[in-house]
Amino acid sequence: MGNDGSGANMRTGNDLELVHLTKRYGDTVAVRDINHVFAPASYVCLLGPSGCGKSSTLRMIAGHESVSEGSILLDKSDISAMPPARRGTAMMFQNYALFPHLNVRDNVAFSLRMKGVDREARHKRANELLALVHMTQFADRLPAQLSGGQQQRVALARALITEPKVLLLDEPLSALDPFLRIQMRAELKRLQRELGIIFIHVTHGQDEALALADEVVVMNNAVIEQAGPPREVWGAPKTEFVARFMGGHNVISFNGGKVAVRADEVRLAETGVPAVLTSVEYQGATVAVSARTEAGEEIFAILPEDAYFKSPKSPGEGVTLAWDEGRMHRLLA
Ligand SMILES: Nc1ncnc2c1ncn2[C@@H]1O[C@H](COP(=O)(O)OP(=O)(O)OP(=O)(O)O)[C@@H](O)[C@H]1O
């Protein structure tokens, strides 16, 4: 899987560009002057805390929300004033929004019916899309007769039948149980690779973004705080916000500034920073411990199981924390 950012295939030449994109709702600025280029055929995850502007960005690209300022260019042409159906984008909603009275095939074929495509041609195309999402055998069922995961496959087929250049997914996995979520995310990745189009996937889940994305875009307070391949955003966060939000890092005061240190780079050692252990969590292959330094900073460490159990400690005991200074990573803000 292309989780190192190198796997984007380049079958189509469509890129999507946001230029000085701004969204205001009255006095609230939901998206502030964003500039970004989504590479052709890339899987992009849009990540950030609640209210940071993810959905507003997605909805502007889809055309479900007007643009306050700036523009959206798909393949170099400005789509920002076009109606949703003419943009070359399609959106899959969190609740799937299937028509309850139409069977699966007719749900998938719906947009072709609106375009006046004849019954035989639209059924043929719907059947092809159902095969793509492995739902052929359910074509005659109603949505209520399907599981959540199956409904989602239908919703995907329905969005893809318009042959979009960009598929927009608003928290597509959040309604699924954890097992199905992992299965469906592999399925989304497969589809994106097979189709070679841009997927923009809004998620609250850092793990989900790291697992899926060719590019992770982290938003905060209506702007893009950092964007890049997952290993870069996770491994080299530019700001304290990104380091804390992506997780796995300590943010520590050092020489008048702040640095990030990966939790898996912190060790219990003979010499280093004295601290008192505050918690120990056994995780299987690793043990997560957290300790408070004399300066009052809470530092957490992910230790290999065998290293921890050579000399196990309990909360309240004194420990010494160490890490390589060369692995400290200075934060800009
Ligand atoms: N229709 C609206 N009218 C007024 N304010 C809105 C509207 N939609 C969103 N907002 C505000 O714009 C800001 C960004 O909202 P948006 O839904 O884009 O965030 P989000 O990152 O998708 O959040 P969440 O993860 O909770 O869905 C928030 O402050 C929100 O309250």
Class of domain 248-330: mainly beta
Say how many Å lie between the CA of residue 222 and the centre of ligand 1: 10
% pLDDT > 90, the chain: 79
Give span(s): CATH 2.40.50.140, the chain.
248-330
pLDDT of residue 95: 67
> How confident is the model at residue 243, as a pLDDT?
95
40 lines ligand 1 (CB under 6 A): no
Which pair of structure tokens corresponds to residue 321? 């924390």
Q: Which of 10-24, 141-155, 250-264 is least confident? A: 10-24
Note the residue count of the chain: 333
Q: Using a 6 Å cutoff on CB, does residue 48 contact ligand 1?
A: yes
Q: Sort 137 into a burial class: Cβ within 10 Å, 0-12 / 13-18 / 19+.
A: exposed
| Interface predicted TM-score (ipTM) | 0.95
Return the percentage of the chain with pLDDT > 70, whole number. Answer: 95
Identity (one letter) of the amino acid at 102?
A: L
Mean pLDDT along residues 99-120: 93
Q: Which atom of ligand 1 is nearest to the CA of 23?
A: 12
pLDDT in tens, 164-222: 999 999 998 887 888 888 888 998 999 999 999 999 999 988 999 999 999 999 999 99
Write down the mean pLDDT value for the chain: 91
Provide mean pLDDT across the span 57-86: 95
Question: Which helix (H) or strand (E) element contains residue 224?
Answer: strand 223-228
Cβ–ligand 1 distance for 58 under 6 Å, the answer: no
pLDDT of amino acid 8: 42
For helices 119-132 and 104-114, the axis angle rounded to 10 degrees is: 130
How far, in Å, is the centroid of ligand 1 from the Cα of 166?
22
Average pLDDT over residues 27-52: 96
Distance of alpha carbon 214 from alpha carbon 211, whole angstroms: 9
Query: What's the pTM?
Result: 0.89
State residue 5's pLDDT score.
40
pLDDT at position 2 is: 39
DSSP label of 33? E
pLDDT reported for residue 107: 95
**How many CA atoms within 13 Å lie on the side-chain side of 40?**
9
DSSP state for residue 18 in the 8-state scheme: E
Which residue spans of the chain are classified as CATH 3.40.50.300? 16-235
- State which CATH number among 3.90.1300.10, 3.40.190.10, 3.30.70.580, 3.40.50.300 fits the domain covering 16-235: 3.40.50.300
Q: Give distance in angstroms: CA of 120 to centre of ligand 1.
A: 42
Report residue 91's pLDDT band, with 50, 70 and 90 as the boundaries: very high
